[in-house]
Chain A
Amino acid sequence: EVLLVESGGGLIQPGGSLRLSCVASGFSLSDIYMNWVRQTPGRGLEWVSVIYSGGGTYYADSVKGRFTISRDSSKNTVYLQMNNLRADDTAVYYCAGNLPFDPWGQGTVVTVSS
Protein backbone atom coordinates (compact mmCIF):
# COMPACT_ATOMS: atom_id res chain seq x y z
CA GLU A 1 0.00 0.00 0.00
CA VAL A 2 1.23 3.46 -0.92
CA LEU A 3 1.23 5.67 2.16
CA LEU A 4 2.61 9.03 3.32
CA VAL A 5 2.67 9.93 7.00
CA GLU A 6 3.60 13.40 8.25
CA SER A 7 4.76 14.34 11.70
CA GLY A 8 6.44 17.20 13.52
CA GLY A 9 3.69 19.76 13.74
CA GLY A 10 2.82 21.62 16.90
CA LEU A 11 2.52 24.94 18.65
CA ILE A 12 5.50 27.24 18.19
CA GLN A 13 6.15 30.86 19.01
CA PRO A 14 6.73 33.43 16.26
CA GLY A 15 10.35 33.38 15.17
CA GLY A 16 10.77 29.76 16.14
CA SER A 17 11.64 26.69 14.08
CA LEU A 18 10.03 23.35 13.35
CA ARG A 19 10.98 20.40 11.18
CA LEU A 20 8.22 18.43 9.53
CA SER A 21 8.80 14.86 8.37
CA CYS A 22 6.99 12.82 5.73
CA VAL A 23 7.71 9.10 5.66
CA ALA A 24 6.77 7.11 2.59
CA SER A 25 5.89 3.44 2.41
CA GLY A 26 5.03 1.31 -0.57
CA PHE A 27 7.26 3.27 -2.92
CA SER A 28 10.57 5.10 -3.06
CA LEU A 29 10.12 8.83 -2.75
CA SER A 30 13.48 9.37 -4.40
CA ASP A 31 11.90 8.33 -7.71
CA ILE A 32 9.27 11.06 -7.79
CA TYR A 33 8.60 14.73 -7.05
CA MET A 34 7.75 15.32 -3.39
CA ASN A 35 5.82 18.39 -2.39
CA TRP A 36 4.69 20.21 0.70
CA VAL A 37 1.28 21.88 0.51
CA ARG A 38 -0.44 23.84 3.25
CA GLN A 39 -4.05 24.72 3.90
CA THR A 40 -5.75 27.43 5.90
CA PRO A 41 -9.41 28.42 6.07
CA GLY A 42 -8.56 31.88 4.78
CA ARG A 43 -6.04 31.15 2.02
CA GLY A 44 -7.16 27.68 0.97
CA LEU A 45 -4.62 25.30 -0.52
CA GLU A 46 -1.15 26.69 -1.12
CA TRP A 47 1.74 24.83 -2.69
CA VAL A 48 4.84 25.42 -0.55
CA SER A 49 7.81 23.52 -1.92
CA VAL A 50 8.95 20.68 -4.16
CA ILE A 51 12.02 18.48 -4.34
CA TYR A 52 12.55 16.75 -7.65
CA SER A 53 13.92 13.24 -8.03
CA GLY A 54 17.19 14.81 -9.18
CA GLY A 55 17.36 16.91 -6.04
CA GLY A 56 16.35 20.28 -7.44
CA THR A 57 14.09 22.38 -5.26
CA TYR A 58 11.59 25.21 -5.61
CA TYR A 59 9.76 27.30 -3.04
CA ALA A 60 6.75 29.55 -2.88
CA ASP A 61 7.75 33.20 -2.56
CA SER A 62 6.01 33.33 0.83
CA VAL A 63 8.49 30.85 2.35
CA LYS A 64 11.63 31.40 0.27
CA GLY A 65 14.65 31.94 2.47
CA ARG A 66 12.86 30.59 5.57
CA PHE A 67 11.88 27.02 4.63
CA THR A 68 14.13 24.25 3.31
CA ILE A 69 12.98 20.98 1.77
CA SER A 70 15.29 17.97 1.89
CA ARG A 71 15.24 14.22 1.49
CA ASP A 72 16.85 11.25 3.22
CA SER A 73 16.63 8.34 0.81
CA SER A 74 17.90 5.85 3.39
CA LYS A 75 14.89 6.67 5.57
CA ASN A 76 12.50 7.22 2.64
CA THR A 77 11.64 10.52 4.26
CA VAL A 78 11.20 14.10 3.10
CA TYR A 79 11.61 17.00 5.48
CA LEU A 80 10.50 20.60 5.65
CA GLN A 81 12.69 22.72 7.88
CA MET A 82 10.75 25.84 8.81
CA ASN A 83 12.64 28.74 10.36
CA ASN A 84 11.62 32.21 11.44
CA LEU A 85 8.01 31.13 11.62
CA ARG A 86 5.26 33.73 11.40
CA ALA A 87 1.62 33.71 12.40
CA ASP A 88 0.58 33.40 8.77
CA ASP A 89 2.47 30.10 8.52
CA THR A 90 -0.23 28.59 10.72
CA ALA A 91 -1.81 25.84 8.64
CA VAL A 92 -2.31 22.16 8.08
CA TYR A 93 0.77 20.94 6.21
CA TYR A 94 0.50 18.04 3.81
CA CYS A 95 3.16 16.17 1.90
CA ALA A 96 2.10 14.99 -1.52
CA GLY A 97 3.84 13.03 -4.21
CA ASN A 98 4.15 13.63 -7.93
CA LEU A 99 2.36 16.20 -10.05
CA PRO A 100 -0.62 15.92 -10.09
CA PHE A 101 -0.46 15.44 -6.36
CA ASP A 102 -1.07 11.83 -5.44
CA PRO A 103 -0.70 10.35 -2.89
CA TRP A 104 -1.22 12.78 -0.01
CA GLY A 105 -0.42 12.37 3.64
CA GLN A 106 -2.99 12.94 6.35
CA GLY A 107 -1.58 16.33 7.32
CA THR A 108 0.09 17.80 10.39
CA VAL A 109 -1.03 20.98 12.12
CA VAL A 110 1.37 23.86 12.66
CA THR A 111 0.23 26.70 14.90
CA VAL A 112 2.42 29.77 15.23
CA SER A 113 1.30 31.83 18.19
CA SER A 114 2.65 33.46 21.30
Chain B
Amino acid sequence: DIQMTQSPSSVSASVGDRVTITCRASQDISTWLVWYQQKPGKAPKLLIYAASSLQSGVPSRFSGSGSGTDFTLTISSLQPEDFATYYCQQAKSLPPWTFGQGTKVEIK
Protein backbone atom coordinates (compact mmCIF):
# COMPACT_ATOMS: atom_id res chain seq x y z
CA ASP B 1 0.00 0.00 0.00
CA ILE B 2 1.05 3.59 -0.61
CA GLN B 3 1.85 5.43 2.63
CA MET B 4 1.11 9.14 2.95
CA THR B 5 3.03 11.29 5.43
CA GLN B 6 1.98 14.82 6.29
CA SER B 7 3.97 17.47 8.07
CA PRO B 8 3.67 19.19 10.38
CA SER B 9 1.07 17.37 12.47
CA SER B 10 -0.08 20.74 13.78
CA VAL B 11 0.64 24.38 13.09
CA SER B 12 -0.24 27.49 15.05
CA ALA B 13 -0.91 30.54 12.92
CA SER B 14 -2.63 33.90 12.98
CA VAL B 15 -5.29 35.33 10.71
CA GLY B 16 -3.57 36.63 7.62
CA ASP B 17 -0.62 34.26 7.84
CA ARG B 18 0.56 32.11 4.97
CA VAL B 19 0.38 28.44 5.90
CA THR B 20 2.06 25.58 4.07
CA ILE B 21 1.38 21.88 4.67
CA THR B 22 3.37 19.14 3.00
CA CYS B 23 2.44 15.61 2.07
CA ARG B 24 4.82 12.91 0.92
CA ALA B 25 3.87 9.64 -0.80
CA SER B 26 5.89 6.47 -0.36
CA GLN B 27 5.95 5.98 -4.13
CA ASP B 28 5.34 8.00 -7.28
CA ILE B 29 1.65 8.93 -7.57
CA SER B 30 2.04 11.47 -10.39
CA THR B 31 -0.60 14.10 -9.57
CA TRP B 32 -3.13 11.70 -8.04
CA LEU B 33 -3.27 13.73 -4.86
CA VAL B 34 -6.32 15.13 -3.08
CA TRP B 35 -6.67 17.57 -0.17
CA TYR B 36 -9.61 17.69 2.24
CA GLN B 37 -10.55 20.06 5.04
CA GLN B 38 -12.35 18.80 8.13
CA LYS B 39 -13.92 20.82 10.93
CA PRO B 40 -14.85 19.28 14.29
CA GLY B 41 -17.93 17.11 14.16
CA LYS B 42 -18.23 17.41 10.38
CA ALA B 43 -17.35 15.24 7.43
CA PRO B 44 -14.27 16.07 5.37
CA LYS B 45 -14.76 18.51 2.53
CA LEU B 46 -13.00 18.26 -0.82
CA LEU B 47 -10.66 21.20 -1.42
CA ILE B 48 -8.21 20.24 -4.16
CA TYR B 49 -7.94 17.32 -6.55
CA ALA B 50 -5.34 16.27 -9.09
CA ALA B 51 -2.75 17.96 -6.86
CA SER B 52 -3.59 21.50 -7.96
CA SER B 53 -7.18 21.74 -9.21
CA LEU B 54 -9.44 23.78 -6.95
CA GLN B 55 -12.85 22.26 -6.25
CA SER B 56 -15.75 24.46 -7.25
CA GLY B 57 -16.65 26.94 -4.52
CA VAL B 58 -13.32 26.71 -2.68
CA PRO B 59 -11.70 30.11 -2.11
CA SER B 60 -8.70 30.97 -4.27
CA ARG B 61 -6.49 31.48 -1.20
CA PHE B 62 -6.15 27.70 -1.21
CA SER B 63 -3.68 26.23 -3.67
CA GLY B 64 -1.96 22.92 -4.22
CA SER B 65 1.22 21.92 -5.98
CA GLY B 66 3.55 19.02 -6.52
CA SER B 67 3.89 15.79 -8.42
CA GLY B 68 5.54 12.44 -7.97
CA THR B 69 6.03 12.03 -4.23
CA ASP B 70 6.06 15.55 -2.79
CA PHE B 71 3.04 17.83 -2.52
CA THR B 72 2.09 21.07 -0.85
CA LEU B 73 -1.14 22.73 0.28
CA THR B 74 -0.84 26.48 0.77
CA ILE B 75 -3.30 28.87 2.36
CA SER B 76 -2.13 32.27 1.21
CA SER B 77 -3.87 34.38 3.86
CA LEU B 78 -5.42 32.42 6.70
CA GLN B 79 -9.02 33.30 7.53
CA PRO B 80 -10.94 32.48 10.73
CA GLU B 81 -12.99 29.82 8.93
CA ASP B 82 -9.80 28.01 7.82
CA PHE B 83 -8.94 26.74 11.29
CA ALA B 84 -9.47 23.02 10.76
CA THR B 85 -7.65 19.77 10.10
CA TYR B 86 -6.34 19.10 6.60
CA TYR B 87 -5.78 15.67 5.09
CA CYS B 88 -4.06 14.54 1.94
CA GLN B 89 -5.10 11.38 0.11
CA GLN B 90 -3.54 9.47 -2.74
CA ALA B 91 -6.06 8.59 -5.44
CA LYS B 92 -3.91 6.53 -7.77
CA SER B 93 -5.58 3.75 -9.76
CA LEU B 94 -6.75 0.86 -7.60
CA PRO B 95 -7.60 1.01 -3.91
CA PRO B 96 -6.66 1.19 -1.09
CA TRP B 97 -6.78 4.97 -1.31
CA THR B 98 -4.79 6.03 1.70
CA PHE B 99 -4.84 9.26 3.71
CA GLY B 100 -2.21 11.21 5.51
CA GLN B 101 -2.51 11.49 9.27
CA GLY B 102 -3.77 15.05 9.15
CA THR B 103 -2.47 18.53 9.96
CA LYS B 104 -4.35 20.62 12.49
CA VAL B 105 -4.26 24.35 11.85
CA GLU B 106 -4.76 26.11 15.16
CA ILE B 107 -5.15 29.69 16.24
CA LYS B 108 -1.94 31.27 17.53
Contact = CB atoms under 8 A, between A and B. Distances in A.
A106 B43 contact: yes
Given A50-B95, A60-B96, A99-B97, A45 B87 contact: yes
Contacts of B91: 99-100
Interface string B77-108: 00000000001010100111111111000000
B46 A102 contact: yes
Interface residues on B, range: 20 to 34
Interface in A64-114: 94, 96, 99-102, 104-107
A61 B49 CA distance: 25
Interface of A: 44-47, 50, 58, 60-61, 94, 96, 99-102, 104-107
17 contacts: A44-B87, A44-B100, A45-B44, A45-B87, A45-B89, A47-B95, A47-B98, A47-B99, A96-B43, A100-B91, A101-B36, A101-B46, A101-B89, A102-B45, A104-B43, A105-B43, A106-B42
